[in-house]
Amino acid sequence: MSTRIRSALLWLAPVLLASPLVAAALQTPSPSNVTLPALKFTAPDAARGAQLGASCAGCHGAGGISKDEAVPSLAGQVSSYTRQQLTAYKAKLLPNETMQNVAARLTDQDMADIAAHFSALVPGPAWKGADAAVRAQGAALYAKGDPARNLIACTVCHGAGGRGSDSLILPSIANLSPAYAEGKLAEYRETVPYAHPSPQAMHAAAQGLTDEELTALAGYLSSLK
């Protein structure tokens, strides 16, 4: 998987930069000029992470499986992405006061251990409710993109099953609720949340998506098992 994705990213970079729309998007200033801090930790301890992350169930659900459409599940999320998000919250580069307060109390090692714990859990079931025709539209965009409009297929980075890549800090996007997925896609379309290649790439990739297509992609992502 990693080799295939690396090869795809090598192809993706010049394609993105060649698009006038995406090139302009990459020049859009980030709301923060602060670079995401690098973490320093030893080999992650998932068992310790389970103890530290026990309180996360209050919002993210038992076993890291959220029942709240506004809150993402953590079960099965790649470790590198969870660490990245916690780091961004601690640095106040992501606007969520609750998560900022949670992350402020965590050391680098705490973040690594918590991320290891949730990555080892089994992802939750698919969400129900998205219209079949909407999901089909989203599935086509996910698998093929739209070359005529320079829309890149999501599979290039996130894989056919939406499980991402830990080594490349590409998150798992399967099992996201339709509301949460659509909201995040809309956010990425509008801005780069912090200085790091992965959100910058998402901002560029989402530029040409219409509101209807955001809804369709979100509906498809929520249906992935």
CATH number at residue 203: 1.10.760.10
Question: What tens digit of pLDDT does each residue of 74-119 get?
Answer: 999 999 999 999 999 999 999 999 999 999 999 999 999 999 999 9
**Element at 114 (helix H, strand E):** helix 108-119
Phi and psi angles of residue 165, each rounded to the nearest 5 degrees, phi first: -150, 120
State which of 119, 143, 165 marks the end of a domain: 119
CB atoms within 10 A of CB 107: 13
Do residues 193 and 165 both lie within one domain?
yes
Do residues 82 and 15 both lie within one domain?
no
Do residues 108 and 193 both lie within one domain?
no
Structural domain harbouring 61 = 46-119
Model pLDDT, residue 34: 64
Do residues 57 and 164 both lie within one domain?
no
Q: For residue 44, name the pLDDT band (cuts at 50, 70, 90).
A: very high
What is the pTM (predicted TM-score) of this model? 0.84
Do residues 180 and 208 both lie within one domain?
yes
Q: Can you tell me which residue has the tokens 């068992």?
A: 47
Q: Are 39 and 110 in contact (CB under 8 A)?
A: no
163-195 core/surface letters (b: 16 or more CB in 10 A; e: else): bbbbebbbbbbbbbbbebbbbbbebbbeebbbe
Domain membership flag for residue 13:
yes
Do residues 80 and 142 both lie within one domain?
no
State which of 66, 99, 119 marks the end of a domain: 119
Do residues 105 and 156 both lie within one domain?
no
CB atoms within 10 A of CB 69: 16
CA distance 72 to 18: 34
State which of 119, 141, 159 marks the end of a domain: 119
